[in-house]
């Protein structure tokens, strides 16, 4: 018998702890490592939509495991997002290592993370796919809190007549 706690709906504000595991069982991400919950509004694209669909109906205290294929999680890895860049485009003081995630600016001036995949002499291969793209992932979710999203109230300015 469900109690009267709020269930997650398409309009809920939700706080969760989560772990993302790779196929081999290793942990790729763990929100508890940061000592704070991951807070989001359902439908805001913070999580893959297939994962959100699995959260509907859950309540505070619930635990759920969801396996997502790569195309339902962070997408497949696209070779067109892997670029070779000359080493001299990087700060000479920077120690480049394979697996290093760095911030770059894309042509629109927005921050874009890239992963150093390979260093071959003066050539550096940078992968701009999401670091978890191309992976089957197991999400483990603990629901910490559920609330209704409060409607936005308009502020009406009043002027007192003198």
Interval 147-158: pLDDT, tens: 987 655 555 565
Look at residue 5 in the predicted model and tell me its pLDDT.
80
Rounded percentage of the chain residues whose pLDDT exceeds 90: 78
Contact between residue 98 and residue 119 where contact means Cβ atoms under 8 Å apart: yes
Alpha carbon separation from 92 to 51, 61, 107 (Å, rounded): 42, 50, 22
Look at residue 131 in the predicted model and tell me its pLDDT.
87
The candidate with the shortest Cα–Cα distance to 104, out of 116, 94, 114, is 114
Using 70 as the pLDDT threshold, list the residues of the chain that sit under it.
1-4, 150-162
- Confirm whether pTM is higher than 0.85: no
Look at residue 107 in the predicted model and tell me its pLDDT.
84
DSSP 29-98: EEGGGGTS-EEEETTSSSS-HHHHHHHTT-BTT-EEEEEE-GGGTT----GGGEEEEEGGGS-TT----T
């Amino acid at each position: 018998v469900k109690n009267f706690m709020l269930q997650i709906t398409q309009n809920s504000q939700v706080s969760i702890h989560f772990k993302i595991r790779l196929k081999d069982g290793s942990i790729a991400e763990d929100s508890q490592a940061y000592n704070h919950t991951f807070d989001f509004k359902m439908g805001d694209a913070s999580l893959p939509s297939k994962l959100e669909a699995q959260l509907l109906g859950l309540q505070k205290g619930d635990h759920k495991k969801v396996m997502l294929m790569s195309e339902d999680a962070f997408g497949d890895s696209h070779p067109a997002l892997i670029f070779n860049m000359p080493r001299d485009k990087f700060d000479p003081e920077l120690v480049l290592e394979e697996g290093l995630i760095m911030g770059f600016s894309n042509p629109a001036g927005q921050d874009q993370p890239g992963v150093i995949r390979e260093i071959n002499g003066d050539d550096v291969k940078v992968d701009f796919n999401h670091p978890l793209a191309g992976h089957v992932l197991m999400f483990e979710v603990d629901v910490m809190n559920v609330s209704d999203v409060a409607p936005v109230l308009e502020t009406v300015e009043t002027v007192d007549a003198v």
